[in-house]
Structure 1
Amino acid sequence: MAATRTTVSRRRVFYIPGYDPIHPRRYRELYRKESAIQAGVSGYGISLCARQGGARYGWDVKGLIDGVHVDASVDVLVWSDIVRDSMETSISATYWQLLRTAWVYISTSALWRLMRLRKGPVIAALYPVAMLLGQLLIAYAAGVFVHWMTKELLEPLMGSAGQITAMAAAVGLFVWLMRWFKAKDGKFFAYYLMHDYAYGASTRGANTPELEARISNFADAIAEALADDVDEVLVVGHSSGAHLGVSVLADLIRAGRVPQHGPALGFLSLGQVVPMVSFLPDAHRLRADLAYLSVTDALTWVDVTAPGDGCAFALCDPVSVSGVAPEGKRWPLVFSAAFTQSLSPKRWKALRWRFFRLHFQYMCAFDQPRDYDYFQITAGPMTLEARYADRPASKSRIETPVNKFTSVAP
C-alpha cells in the first residue's frame, strides 16, 4: 500500500526526458530560468545549485513555499546516448525509415485509430514525412532545372561532353541541397522527428535490448532512493519519457522494491504520447505495464496534458484508450494544464504557434497559474497524492478504447 505521508521536507525527483539527443544540462537551465520566473509570479522562494560529482547528472533545489523549507534533489535519467545512436543514419537511410515507419502505422491501421483520438499529434507525426518529401522534391526539381539549363548551354559547344557535364552539375546540386537540408535540421526538425517516430515503429512497439537495459538501470536508481531518508520519491516522465516511466515503475512495483512504509511514491506524466507506441502490434510490454500500473496502490499517478499542446495526446487516458483498462482501474488522474487559461492572452499569443516550445510548457512558468505548478510539485511541501487528493479528473478526458491491439503478452 502507498505511504500515507502528505507533507514533504526532503524529496528525490527523477526526470525522464523524451526522445532528445541533447545533454541534460538543458533541463537544469530550463528549471533554473523558469522556476525563478514562477517564484516571482507566485510569491515563493526557490533556488537551484548544480551538483558536483555523483553517478547521475542532476541538481539540488531549495524551496520556501507556504512558509515551509523543502530540499529537493533532481536526477535526470539519461537515455540521450541511445537517442543519438538511433539518429546516426545517412540521408538515404532516413528516407528508408520514412517508408518503413509509414508502412507500419498504415498497414496496422494504427494511424487511423490515432486520428480518432487527437489529430494534433498525428499531424505532428506526418510533418516530417511531408517535410522530407518536400525537400526531396525541391532538390530534384532544382537538379532537373540545372540539367536542362546546362545542357542547353553546353551541348551545342561540347556535344556529348556537354550532356555529361550537365548531368554532373544536376547530381552535384541535388546532393548539395539534400546535405544542406539535413545540416539545417535544427530549424526544420524533419530528420529529428522522423527518427523519433521511426524509433518505436522499427520494433513495432517493442523495446530494444538497449532500452530494456536502461529501464532496468532507472529502476535501480529509483529503488535506491526509496530506501533513502526522504518523504517523497517523484518520477516525472515527459513526452516519450512518460511511457518509459510506466515500464520503470511497473517493474519496480512488481519486483516488490517499493517499501510499504517508505517514502510516498508519485508519478507525474507530462505531455504524454503513449498511444504512438501502445497502438503498435508488438507493444505487449507497454500495454501490460499500463494495465498493471493503473490498479496499484503503491503510487499516485497524475497525467497532465493540454489541448494547446499539439504534440501530445491531450486528455487521452493512456490506459483506457489503449484498450487495457482493467476492472478496478484507479490511475491515472487525467487533467489539463489549461494553457489558454494559465497563460495570459499576451503570453498565449506569443507561444501559440511555437509548437515545440509548447510541448515543454509543463516544465515552465505560467503567468496566470491555476492548480498546476511544476515547481510546487517538485519543490513544494505537499506530496503529489496530497496535492491532488480532491482534484477531479477533467470532464473532457477521452477514455474510449480505440486500439486494435490489446494483447499484453506475445
Structure 2
Amino acid sequence: MSSNTEVRRRRVFYIPGYDPMPPRRYRELYRKESEGQAAISGYEIKVMPGPRHARFGWRVEARIEGRGTRTDVTVLVWSDIVKDSMDRGILATYAQLFRTAWAYVGSGTLFRLMRLRKGPVIAALYPVVILLLQLLFALLVAWGLARLLMLWHPLAGWAGLGAVPIVLAGFRRLDGRFFAYYLMHDYAHCARLDGAMPPELEARLAAFTDDVAAALTEGHDEVLVVGHSSGVHLGVTVLADLIRAGRVPSDGPALSFLSLGQVVPMVSFLPRAWRLRADLAYLGTRPELFWLDVSAPGDGCAFALCDPISVSGVAPTGKRWPLVISAAFTQTLSRARWRALRWRFFRLHFQYLCAFDQPHDYDYFRITAGPQTLGRRFAGRQPSQSRIERPVSRYTDVAP
C-alpha cells in the first residue's frame, strides 16, 4: 500500500444498505448534499456523469483545501436482490414475521442486542408490532361485519372474514407511511439463513471484489470503500476477501474503508454468521487498510459507537481497527436543523451522507472528494470515549 497521503485521483466504491430504490437515488443525494456542504464550508465541487464503460456511478471534480481532485464513484447495485426479497404476498410476510422473530428470540440474539443499543432493537420490533396491530384491526373489522351480517341471516356472518385480506391489502398500499413491510423484509433477509451469506449476494460480492481489485492497479492515489447501514458488513466481507487473496499490491494506492451507521450486530450475533465473524476478526488486524467507523447516538437505526468487532466477541490479539468516532448530530447540526430532523428516524440514518450546517472533522464530501487520504485526514484522531467494546454476542465461533 502506498504511503502517499495526497490525493489527485480517487476511486470510491459505495455499498448501500438494504434498499430497493435504484442507484441513481444516491447520485442525486450526493449531488444535492455536496452542493449544500460546499456552500457552507467554502469549497468547490461538481458532480458529472461517470465513464460510459463503468458500472453505475458518477464523477466528482472538486477543489477543496486549495487543491484539485477527481473522484470516480461506483455503486454496488444489489437493489434487484432487495426487490426480489421483498416480493412476498401478505400471507408470506406474516409467515416471515414469525420465522424472523423466532430466529432472534429463540437464539437469544434479541436479548443480547438489547444490551448494546435500544434504538435499533426497537426498530427491529417495530414492524412486528405494527403488522400484528394491522392484523388485529382487520380481525376486529371482520368480527364487526360478521355481527351485522348475522342480523340478516345466521350463516351470513362467515362472509365477514372476507374483510381481513381487504383491510390488510389496504394497509400494505399505505406502507410508504408505515414502513412495516419494508423493515420486516429487511430483518427477514438478515435472519433467513441465521446470519449466513445468501448465495445470490455471495455472487454479487465476488464481482464487486474484482472491481475493487482492478481499481487498485489503475493508478489512483486512494481506493475508498464506503459502506452504509447493512452495506457495512458487506464491505467487511469484500475487503477481507480482497486482502486474504493477496490482491492488494504493496506499491498500490492507499486502501481505505469508511463504515457509516453500521448494523453489524444484527447479523454477526446470529448463530450461523460464521463467515462474517471470521471476516471481522481478520480485517481488524490488517495493515493494508485504514478503517474509520462513524455513527451517532442520535441515529436510532444504528448500533452507534459499538465497535463491531469487539461487541461480536471476535476481537483478535493486536486489533487495530476500526477507529470508532461519533458524527455527534447534536453538535454538528444546528439547533433548528436538529429539531427538524430529530424524529425523522429514517432521514437521520442517512445523515452521514448529507451536509452538516455545523461540521466538525467528519465531512463526507471532504473524505470522498478532498485531497487527503482517509488515513491522513484522521491520523492521530482519538476514538470516541463513549464507544462500546465489551463482547456481548452469545455466538463467537468463526467456522461451523
Category of TM-score, reference length = shorter chain: over 0.9
Q: Identify which of 254, 258, 264 aligns with 2:254.
A: 264
Contact 1:101 1:201 in 2 (8 A): yes
Q: Tell me which residue corresponds to 2:321.
A: 331
How many residues get paired?
A: 400
C-alpha displacement of 1:178: 0.5
Q: Structure 1 CA distance, aligned partners of 2:33 and 2:143?
A: 49
Q: Tell me which residue corresponds to 2:118.
A: 119
Contact 1:310 1:359 in 2 (8 A): yes
Letter of the 1:96 partner, please give it.
A
Q: Structure 1 CA distance, aligned partners of 2:164 and 2:5?
A: 62
Contact 1:281 1:405 in 2 (8 A): yes
Deviation digits for residues 211-239 of structure 1 (CA, Å, limit 9, x no counterpart): 11111111001001101111000000000
Q: Tell me which residue corresponds to 1:167.
A: 158
C-alpha displacement of 1:167: 2.6
Q: Tell me which residue corresponds to 1:298.
A: 288
Q: Structure 1 CA distance, aligned partners of 2:82 and 2:201?
A: 10
Deviation digits for residues 57-116 of structure 1 (CA, Å, limit 9, x no counterpart): 100001110110010000001111111111111111111111011111111110000000
Q: Identify which of 346, 353, 364 aligns with 1:356.
A: 346
Q: Structure 2 CA distance, aligned partners of 1:47 and 1:302?
A: 25
Of the two, which has the highest radius of gyration?
A: 1
Contact 1:45 1:65 in 2 (8 A): yes
Contact 2:327 2:352 in 1 (8 A): yes
C-alpha displacement of 1:150: 2.5
TM-score normalised over the length of structure 2? 0.99
Q: Among the aligned pairs, what percent are the same residue?
A: 64
Deviation digits for residues 16-51 of structure 1 (CA, Å, limit 9, x no counterpart): 000011100000000011000000000000010123
Q: Structure 2 CA distance, aligned partners of 1:274 and 1:188?
A: 24
Deviation digits for residues 272-324 of structure 1 (CA, Å, limit 9, x no counterpart): 00000000000000000000000000000000000000000000000000000
Q: Structure 2 CA distance, aligned partners of 1:302 and 1:95?
A: 38
TM-score normalised over the length of structure 1? 0.96
Q: Structure 2 CA distance, aligned partners of 1:50 and 1:150?
A: 62
* Aligned positions of 1:201-240 closer than 5 A: 201-240=191-230
Deviation digits for residues 105-154 of structure 1 (CA, Å, limit 9, x no counterpart): 111110000000000000000000001001101111111111112222x1
Gaps of 5+ in 2: none
* Cα RMSD, aligned residues only: 0.9
Q: Structure 2 CA distance, aligned partners of 1:53 and 1:63?
A: 20
* Aligned positions of 1:253-292 closer than 5 A: 253-292=243-282
Partner of 1:30, secondary structure, is helix
Partner of 1:61, secondary structure, is strand
Q: Is residue 2:320 matched to residue 1:321? A: no
Contact 2:86 2:185 in 1 (8 A): yes
Q: Tell me which residue corresponds to 1:191.
A: 181
Q: Tell me which residue corresponds to 1:138.
A: 137
Deviation digits for residues 250-273 of structure 1 (CA, Å, limit 9, x no counterpart): 000000000101010000000000
Q: Structure 2 CA distance, aligned partners of 1:251 and 1:216?
A: 9
Contact 2:50 2:72 in 1 (8 A): no
Partner of 1:69, secondary structure, is strand
Q: Structure 2 CA distance, aligned partners of 1:360 and 1:10?
A: 26
Q: Structure 2 CA distance, aligned partners of 1:245 and 1:185?
A: 29
Letter of the 1:267 partner, please give it.
F
C-alpha displacement of 1:187: 1.2
Gaps of 5+ in 1: none
Q: Structure 2 CA distance, aligned partners of 1:335 and 1:403?
A: 22
Q: Tell me which residue corresponds to 2:11.
A: 12
**Worse-superposed segment, 173-182 or 222-231:** 173-182
C-alpha displacement of 1:52: 5.5
Deviation digits for residues 168-203 of structure 1 (CA, Å, limit 9, x no counterpart): 2x2232211111111111111101100100111110
* Aligned positions of 1:26-175 closer than 5 A: 26-51=25-50, 53-152=52-151, 154-155=152-153, 160=154, 163-164=155-156, 166-168=157-159, 170-175=160-165
